[in-house]
């Protein structure tokens, strides 16, 4: 499987700032033809990605979507609107959406349906809100993944993002923990994917220093880079990282 490296700028980068960001990033990653890259920008800056990344080896997308295609939903953005802007990816279920807006697993699955209905790939975020036992984390994630059986596995990416590993001052989950959780996700997806291998990427305080070891873990197909990627040079450097050799490890 090709390595997948992406980032979400969250509520950062105005249209003007996004133009400068992408103009800097594009030549820095132009040589990376053996892996897939993506950037998820605020709704107001997606048109900049369409203009600046046309013909580039970097895909673009959105950080959320409404489950309905149209209607009286003031302030929301629909999947056909995103598809019209050339989005290849749409993130759904990020822990901040679940925490701040009370998004449920059912709503997240409805958003996955909208994304796939319009030919885009859904990046489904899963993970625990606090440090818990390994068995409890696996149970929580199994519940978050349960609805995915109804969807096309060829247009799915699962992002494991434990909320305790996200944010200023946080540290990434240990490599052996990530390997164990990703193995559990892979097992959970096996019955739903009908033989298709769904990429599983890790997000949570990913840095240039931690990236090689994280990429070297079992069942880690890529990285979802957070705040460090707000510097396009850092994101480009992480995108170039090669997986470090990894021995057998167990969840802790």
* Active site (catalytic) residues: 94, 161
Residue appearing with tokens 């609107």: 81
End-to-end CA distance of the chain: 27
The residue whose two tokens read 């079992």 is: 218
Count of CB atoms situated within 10 Å of the CB of 66 = 18
Helix/strand/coil for 34: coil
Phi-psi region of 58 (alpha: psi -120 to 50; beta: other; left: phi over 0): beta
Lookup: tokens for 242: 């090669």
Q: Which two tokens stand for residue 51?
A: 């203009």
In total, the chain counts a number of residues equal to 252
Alpha-carbon separation of residue 43 from 51, 95, 109, 127 (angstroms): 14, 19, 21, 24
DSSP 8-state code for residue 83: H
| 31 vs 134: CA distance, rounded Å | 39
- Helix (H) or strand (E) segment spanning residue 123: strand 121-126
Q: Write the DSSP assignment of 159-185 as a string of letters.
A: EE--GGG-STT--PPPHHHHHHHHHHH
How buried is 201 (Cβ within 10 angstroms: 0-12 exposed, 13-18 middle, 19+ buried)?
buried
């Amino acid at each position: 499987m090709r390595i997948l490296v992406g980032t979400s700028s969250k509520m950062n980068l105005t249209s003007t700032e996004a133009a400068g960001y992408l103009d800097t990033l594009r030549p820095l990653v132009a040589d990376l033809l053996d892996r897939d890259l993506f950037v998820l920008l605020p709704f107001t800056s997606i048109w900049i990605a369409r203009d600046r990344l046309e013909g580039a080896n970097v895909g673009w997308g959105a950080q959320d979507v409404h489950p309905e295609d149209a209607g009286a939903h003031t302030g929301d953005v629909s999947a056909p609107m995103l598809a019209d802007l050339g989005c290849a990816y749409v993130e759904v279920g990020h822990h901040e959406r679940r925490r701040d807006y009370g998004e449920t697993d059912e709503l997240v699955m409805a958003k996955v349906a909208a994304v796939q209905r319009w030919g885009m790939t859904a990046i489904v975020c899963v993970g625990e809100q606090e440090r818990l036992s390994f068995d409890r984390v696996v149970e929580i994630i199994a519940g978050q993944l349960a609805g995915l059986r109804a969807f096309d596995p060829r247009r799915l990416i699962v992002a494991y993002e434990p909320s305790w590993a996200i944010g200023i001052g946080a540290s990434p989950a240990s490599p052996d923990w990530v390997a164990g959780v990703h193995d559990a996700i892979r097992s959970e997806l096996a019955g739903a994917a009908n033989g298709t291998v769904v990429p599983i990427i890790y997000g949570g305080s990913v840095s240039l220093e931690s990236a090689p070891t994280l990429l070297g873990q079992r069942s880690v197909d890529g990285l979802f880079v957070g705040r460090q990627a707000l510097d396009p040079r850092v994101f480009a450097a992480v995108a170039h990282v090669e997986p470090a050799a990894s021995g057998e490890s167990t969840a802790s």
